[in-house]
Amino acid sequence: MKCQSCGFENPTGSAFCEECGNSLQPACPACGSEIRPGAKFCRSCGANLGEAVAAQPVAAAPAAQAGVSPIPAFADGRYQVKKFLGEGGKKLVYLALDTKLDRDVAFALIKTDGLD
């Protein structure tokens, strides 16, 4: 199973890339949630996956797939988002440049899907 992030060829059935650590599990192209192979609809956002889309593995979350962040900057431009780092159970984590201090910082965005 080839990692779409770094191109490393992993053994069949691997859940994560042995080279870069990114997820090799299929993910929804609309929201990035992990999906089961063969699923027709995403259980998180309801997107129509179709059989061809559901069988494709992706690297991680949607920001990582597209190579861009859904939020390019925040705090009136002080923080410029560089790339997606990863996600946990409740947060998405990005690498951002603090333009005022001229240094890299981690930025965690709280997931709101499923909240009422």
Residues 19 and 73 reside in one and the same domain:
no
CA–CA separation, 44 and 28 (whole Å): 9
The pLDDT value given to residue 28:
76
Q: Convert the pLDDT of each residue in 58-116 to its tens digit.
A: 444 444 444 445 667 778 888 888 888 888 888 888 888 999 999 999 988 888 877 76
> Phi and psi dihedrals of 110, rounded to 5?
-75, 130
Number of domains in the chain: 2
- 17-69, pLDDT tens digit by residue? 888 777 777 777 777 777 777 788 878 778 787 743 433 444 444 444 444 45
Would 27 be classed as within a structural domain? yes
In a domain, 84, yes or no: yes
Q: State whether 90 and 52 are in the same domain.
A: no
- Domain of 86 in residue numbering reads as 68-110
**What pLDDT, on a 0 to 100 scale, did the predictor assign at position 104?**
92
**115 within a domain of the structure (yes/no):** no
pTM above 0.75, yes or no: no
Tens of pLDDT, residues 3-19: 777 788 888 877 778 88
The closest of 80, 58, 56, 53 to 69, measured between CA atoms, is: 80
Domain boundary among 18, 34, 60: 60
Q: Is residue 116 part of a domain?
A: no
Helix (H) or strand (E) holding 84: strand 79-87
| Helix (H/G/I), strand (E/B), else coil: 93 | strand
